[in-house]
Chain A
Amino acid sequence: DVKVTQSSRYLVKRTGEKVFLECVQDMDHENMFWYRQDPGLGLRLIYFSYDVKMKEKGDIPEGYSVSREKKERFSLILESASTNQTSMYLCASSYSGSRSYNEQFFGPGTRLTVL
């Protein structure tokens, strides 16, 4: 059974803290993605990675960075958390090329609250 896991389901942090969100997939997928989901705004892509050590900005990368040192792991970093980064964060992965057909597998999400 395919699996994308995220380090926490719920997280509460204070303004200015550095926050790490971890995502691990066990499907040997090349592509990995970080989205945030907010009411009325749908799903928005923050960053994605198509290979180890490779990263590309999505629609809303400001205030975030990412790290992909190993194929199975993709980390999202909030360097200095702010209240407007309170959101549901979703990690996803997929095969690359024609195998993917945009079939992305999502993790359960991390609901982050920044106070």
Chain B
Amino acid sequence: DAKTTQPPSMDCAEGRAANLPCNHSTISGNEYVYWYRQIHSQGPQYIIHGLKNNETNEMASLIITEDRKSSTLILPHATLRDTAVYYCIVRVASNAGNMLTFGGGTRLMVKP
């Protein structure tokens, strides 16, 4: 799996957009970008994934650069409940184990 680099922490004002960056310069052509988050004392939660096109769902938007070497997760209107550690993972979409490896992630603090 390609290595990812994320800032260790970020702050965001409640109601504003939270933009979380991820660098994955060694990504290969068949690897997807996945985002998970983990709220304190809870299990991780899947957010969104994409290959090369931008994606949007009810939780967030994912913007992937044209060269696919970086991406940004956007929470359009952050709430206090979005305070969590956000993990960017790059993996092939295969069934070979499907095991996930979380790195350090970005600790997002949403402030009133």
Contact = CB atoms under 8 A, between A and B. Distances in A.
A76 B43 CA distance: 17
A24 B95 CA distance: 21
Interface residues of B, number: 21
B104 interface: yes
Interface in B76-112: 89, 91, 93, 95, 97-104
Contacts of B34: 101-103
Assign chain A's interface to a size class: 20 to 34
B102 A106 contact: no
Nearest to B47: A103
For chain B, what secondary structure do more than half of its interface residues adopt (helix, strand, loop), or is it mixed? loop
Interface of A: 4, 31, 33, 35, 42-43, 45, 48, 50, 56, 58-59, 90-92, 94, 96-98, 100-109
Given A43-B44, A45-B101, 20 more contacts: A4-B43, A35-B100, A43-B100, A43-B102, A45-B97, A45-B99, A45-B100, A50-B95, A90-B43, A92-B44, A92-B100, A98-B93, A102-B32, A102-B89, A102-B91, A102-B93, A104-B46, A104-B100, A108-B43, A109-B43
6 contacts: A31-B98, A56-B97, A100-B98, A103-B49, A106-B43, A108-B42
